[in-house]
Chains A and B, each alone.
Chain A
């Protein structure tokens, strides 16, 4: 079955350490996204990528970095510069809007809950 896999489900780190969250999809989607969700809050866009080797900053990119070396993979690194990294992180993918003019739904992974102490 096609889908998005995020790992691990729970992640604990000490303050000052960088940590990388994994996101893999086998839906053959060009576009991939990272969102952050805080308790009782909405989803805030961190980074998104429309194609391999290209990505754009979202609304809250400071303190985060990404790479898109493969179509299937879009890892997110939470750096020590992120002042409040404890949150629920969601990865998503979709068919790309670019070139089609159409809009497509996002498919989400099950998320990674990061706790930094």
Chain B
């Protein structure tokens, strides 16, 4: 079952913060976060593991709530380069299922 992401889209001014949420109906063991620029391949941001948090970027962090089966991605002091579509993926063994994506646009 595909994880659900919210919001579907968000527009920010440079320097503002944003939170993207990812929830699953299944038990989570790990959550992946990726960013995709238009027309390009998704790029890995970070993996969060059950019982821990793994930070991949300096101003982008994430949390993982196992009980609520949710993960949130926090973008602090957003930069223009943060624009793109963010996907969460939930892993079961080697099978990674992605959410529908959150489109983020950062304006000057």
Seen from chain A, the residues whose Cβ lies within 8 Å of a Cβ on chain B are 31, 33, 35, 41-45, 48, 50, 56, 58-59, 90, 94, 96-98, 103-111
Chain B residues within 8 Å of A105, by CB: 32, 44, 47
A98 to B94, CA, bound (A): 7
Asked if A48 and B94 sit within 8 Å, CB to CB, the answer is yes
Instruction: Give the docked Cα–Cα distance between A69 and B49 (Å).
Output: 32
- Distance in Å from the Cβ of B24 to the closest Cβ of chain A? 13
- Report chain A residues within 8 Å CB of B91: 97, 103
* A33: B residues at CB distance < 8 A: 96
Main secondary structure of the interface of B (DSSP, over half): strand
Q: Whole-angstrom distance between the alpha carbons of A111 and B97 in the complex?
A: 18
Chain A minimum-CB-distance residue to B103: A40
Q: How many residues of B contact A (CB 8 A)?
A: 24
Chain B residues with CB below 8 A from A48, complex form: 94-95
**A50 and B41 in contact (CB under 8 A), knowing A42-B99, A103-B49?**
no
Contact, CB under 8 Å: A58 / B93 = no
| Contact status of A45 and B42, CB under 8 A, knowing A103-B30, A103-B32, A105-B32 | no
Output the nearest chain B residue to A4 by Cβ-Cβ distance: B41
Question: Complex formed: what's the CA distance from A90 to B96 in Å?
Answer: 13
Known contacts A42-B98, A97-B93, A110 near B41 by CB under 8 Å = yes
Q: A residues within 8 A CB of B94?
A: 31, 48, 50, 94, 96-98
How far in angstroms is the closest Cβ of chain B from A43?
A: 4
Question: Which residues of A sit under 8 angstroms from B42, Cβ to Cβ?
Answer: 43, 90, 106, 108
